[in-house]
Structure 1
Amino acid sequence: MFRSLSSYNYRLWFIGALVSNIGAWMQSTAQSWVVLTVLTDNDAVAVGITMALQFGPQLLLVPITGLIADRFDRRKILMLTQSALMLLGVGLGLLLLLGHAELWHLYVFALLLGIVNALDGPARQTFVSDLVDEHNMSNAVALNSASFNAARMIGPALAGLLIVVIGSGWVFIVNAATFLAVLFALYKLRTSELRTHPRAPRQRGQLAEGFRYVRSRPDLLVIFIIVFIMGAFGMNFPIFASTMAVELGGDAGSYGLLSSILAIGSLTGALLAARRDRARMRVIIGAVGLFAVAAFVASVMPTFWTFAAALIFIGFATVTMLTTANAFVQTTSDAAVRGRVMALYMAVLMGGAPFGAPIVGGIANAWGPRWALAAAGVAALLACVFALTWAVMARNLRVQLHPDSRWRLVVTHAGRTLPVSSIVPEDFSEQIAFTSPISLPALSGQKRRTRPAGADDVSPAKARAGESAERA
């Protein structure tokens, strides 16, 4: 599960990123709470607009940010972007401490944070491939997610405590200080041990190369559609947690506690993903279906603690889906365009928020947060059905009874007379059915057989007739 930590460079990066992520979650929690309760009167739409401004640049700047990650030194890019994020945290914290903060200030800072994160995201995601070898990349991606969600478990609760004790302005200052950890880690990396990646050439057409590559990969297109739907309607956790905290009679501490409880499931999902040898499409589809069920259940929970319990499953499903999708995209993409593909992935993930967050916030304002959660469940259910339909149609799959058991079902390809499990091991047959990025070659559905004794006495014509009868 933790094999990537054997690398000095990755271990150093992991520790620095963990500290920085804790600060980032503290700031995110404080920002949503300030907008909801300090600068407005429980206006969920304002929270949605803030999220839209913060994530919108991911969508608008995607052609440029991905090319930058593919063309320049990712370590230097991260040192610049992390420094800029630190300065923005200091600026917003000072505005709040001095009592000059207004709603439009939060909007401006959210937009600036979005622009810097649009540059930071592709470089940070693909920097993993510079720290570990190809064999450990999926594990390193999952551990990055575990770090992110461990920070989610600590940061919001700590932010809720600090907001009550010393005020929200200091939360932004503390977040700025945490960036020193990741900057120190980047500075102390052994540059001689970093893997080099192919640099994008300086020629026409490179901005659109990532789009062309993704368009040629139907499996990636399906993942991007799933991620967009979930990012737009399903992953509006600041809206869900803050409005449900108010609905259930809570305060800032309750909001922070809900965010931390959500991270319990998220961390579990990330660690289980780290145990898998590679990312599979069927795991993504199953996680989206689980999210739909968990969202419906959470929307009808009557008390704070029952709602918190349902959030664990929401967090687990979300991070399982995101971690597996991220690893699938990175490990199956060509290294020469990986930065641009990941920029598209981040744009689709974060760019869904400007479209969906105001809608979800409007539903919460008009009908209450429970209906907003139910809407997220409906969106996830549609995404799951879409992905399953694609898997069946694109792979030409069917479900049939196993010949040895009338109660056992197997998934196989239409036209085969034997279940896939009788041709190859069952675990590998599932990988073929759901993760193969190209069409499978036509198979006769028969095992390769050795010729029995006396087979030389059978004429080739009779042998072919016998094989045809056996297939029939």
Structure 2
Amino acid sequence: MSGQSLSLIGTWVETVAQALLVLRLTHSGTILGLITSVRYAPILLLSPYAGLLIDRCSKRHLLLATQADLALVSAVLGVSVLTGEIRLWQLVVLAAVFGILSAVDNPARLAFVHEVVDRPLIRNAVTLNSISMNVARVIGPTIAAVLVSTVGIGWCFVVNAASFGCVIASLLGLDASSLHPVPTVSRARGQLRAGLRYAASVPAISRPLLMMALVGTFTFEFEVSLPLLARTTFHGTETAYSWLIGALGAGAVAGGLAAAWSSRTGVRRLTKAAFYYAIAVGLVAAAPTLPTAVAACLLAGAASITFLTTGNSTVQLESDPAFRGRITALWSMALVGSTPIGSPIIGALSDVASPRYALALGAAACLAAVIIGTWPSGDRQVK
């Protein structure tokens, strides 16, 4: 958790820096959305295959490989920016490479949780992981703002490259005898289709995946909507975006600590979380001033962490261990892989109309997820 938390701070430093870099180079919300789309398109296209790879291989070894390669991508990007040689096409290529590696890294990290802790602690482990992600969302943008205003954007990518070393060191230092390894799946024909059929046959897996796909496509596009809201709606500086994204993370930390007290999961709880999320994002869209938008982001962050941890815990606890890599890959595809579809839409809608309309579309997507969650089923609460 220590290594992962430090690395996630670096990731958010780079995420903020990349958005600001694209806007500096292009001054276009549409292009920002397209670059974000390129970054996450491989996750949409490759996640099912990545999940099968995870079920067949050692998750720890896969993570060592992906973390080292992701560090190299960030280092190359940092050097290009610092030397003044960065071009838009380089951003596109490096974003695509980042996405290919993340297609394996994201679900491998989710599935690896089951090997670090045993079943009774899964929900709290997932919540703890989500809290660390959102602590990073608070700290990372703050560090990014300081670096951008002092030494420049390029050093943000260098910091992220160095932060991957924390994860690599922690993976190498783990006591392997204390893990709970899941037996790998032997290679056979039809395993990809079998994983898809399995996910579709379990309502407590298929419906959270559908709900996450909707919310991931149109609501979780804050990397596009919030910088545009800060710049075009509130006419703020780059620091304004850091305040918005930082508030989102702070709310998620508070919401995550509250969620850790409850051990209940399931579609019913996920549906309630989607409803509260719709209200919170709607408040961000309607906020008349930057301070009120920051306050609304606190609520949106709390709702988002509840939605994420409930959905993630539900699909992991419901999945058979032999299919867990493929199920977590489908969850990653619904959460992150949906970005290539949603980010250009959110960016274009922000340019044509307003970032407020883009955020309102995200709130509407949460309400659509509520409808999916209320379909009659035999869903049960998972302890």
TM-score (normalizing by structure 2):
0.97
Q: One-letter code of the match for 1:309?
A: A
The 8 Å contact of residues 207 and 267 in structure 2, kept in 1 or not, is answered as: no
Name the counterpart of 1:320: 306
Question: SS where residue 383 of structure 1 aligns?
Answer: helix
Q: One-letter code of the match for 1:262?
A: L
Question: SS where residue 338 of structure 2 aligns?
Answer: helix
Deviation at 1:196, TM superposition (A): 1.6
Q: One-letter code of the match for 2:372?
A: F
Deviations 1:320-341 (A, max 9, x none): 1011100111111101110011
User: Quick one: which of 346, 354, 374 aligns to 1:360?
Assistant: 346
Q: State the distance in 2 between where 1:27 and 1:319 align.
A: 21
How many residues get paired? 381
The reply to whether residue 21 of structure 1 matches residue 8 of structure 2 is yes
Q: State the distance in 2 between where 1:82 and 1:152 align.
A: 19
User: Quick one: which of 231, 241, 247 aligns to 2:216?
Assistant: 231
The reply to whether residue 251 of structure 1 matches residue 196 of structure 2 is no
Which structure has the highest helix share of the two? 2
Name the counterpart of 2:55: 70
Name the counterpart of 1:394: 377
Q: State the distance in 2 between where 1:369 and 1:63 align.
A: 32
Question: SS where residue 70 of structure 1 aligns?
Answer: helix
Q: One-letter code of the match for 2:165?
A: L
Q: State the distance in 2 between where 1:309 and 1:373 align.
A: 15
The 8 Å contact of residues 160 and 255 in structure 1, kept in 2 or not, is answered as: no
1:238–1:63: structure 2 CA closer, same or farther, 3 Å change rule?
closer
The runs of at least 4 aligned residues of structure 1 exceeding 3 Å deviation read none
Deviations 1:102-121 (A, max 9, x none): 11211111111000000111
Q: One-letter code of the match for 2:316?
A: Q
Deviation at 1:274, TM superposition (A): 2.1
Counting only pairs closer than 5 Å after superposition, residues 171-320 of structure 1 correspond to structure 2 as: 171-246=156-231, 247-320=233-306
Q: State the distance in 2 between where 1:351 and 1:202 align.
A: 25
Name the counterpart of 1:59: 44
User: Quick one: which of 23, 47, 60 aligns to 2:32?
Assistant: 47
Deviations 1:325-373 (A, max 9, x none): 0011111110111001111111121121111111111110001111111
The 8 Å contact of residues 161 and 253 in structure 1, kept in 2 or not, is answered as: no
Question: For structure 1, which segment, 74-83 or 210-219, has the greater mean C-alpha deviation from structure 2 after superposition?
Answer: 210-219
Q: State the distance in 2 between where 1:92 and 1:155 align.
A: 18
Q: State the distance in 2 between where 1:199 and 1:299 align.
A: 46
Q: State the distance in 2 between where 1:385 and 1:203 align.
A: 38
Deviation at 1:252, TM superposition (A): 1.4
Q: One-letter code of the match for 1:254?
A: A
The 8 Å contact of residues 232 and 357 in structure 1, kept in 2 or not, is answered as: yes
Question: SS where residue 249 of structure 1 aligns?
Answer: coil
The reply to whether residue 33 of structure 1 matches residue 16 of structure 2 is no
Q: One-letter code of the match for 1:264?
A: A
The 8 Å contact of residues 51 and 353 in structure 1, kept in 2 or not, is answered as: yes
Structure with larger RCO (C-alpha < 8 A, sep 6+): 2
Deviations 1:115-166 (A, max 9, x none): 0000111111111111111111111111000111111110011101111111
What RMSD over aligned residues (CA atoms) do the two structures have, in Å? Answer: 1.3
User: Quick one: which of 126, 134, 139 aligns to 1:154?
Assistant: 139
Name the counterpart of 2:90: 105
The 8 Å contact of residues 121 and 346 in structure 1, kept in 2 or not, is answered as: yes
Q: One-letter code of the match for 2:22?
A: V
Q: One-letter code of the match for 1:310?
A: A
Deviation at 1:257, TM superposition (A): 1.8
The 8 Å contact of residues 264 and 381 in structure 2, kept in 1 or not, is answered as: no
Deviation at 1:169, TM superposition (A): 0.3
Deviations 1:384-429 (A, max 9, x none): 12322x1xx225xxxxxxxxxxxxxxxxxxxxxxxxxxxxxxxxxx
Name the counterpart of 1:347: 333
The 8 Å contact of residues 291 and 318 in structure 1, kept in 2 or not, is answered as: yes
Q: State the distance in 2 between where 1:169 and 1:367 align.
A: 32
Consecutive unaligned residues in structure 1, runs of 5 or more: 1-13, 396-433, 438-472
Q: State the distance in 2 between where 1:28 and 1:212 align.
A: 35
The structure number with the bigger radius of gyration is 1
Q: State the distance in 2 between where 1:318 and 1:306 align.
A: 18
Question: SS where residue 181 of structure 2 aligns?
Answer: coil
Q: One-letter code of the match for 2:196?
A: F
User: Quick one: which of 101, 107, 124 aligns to 1:122?
Assistant: 107
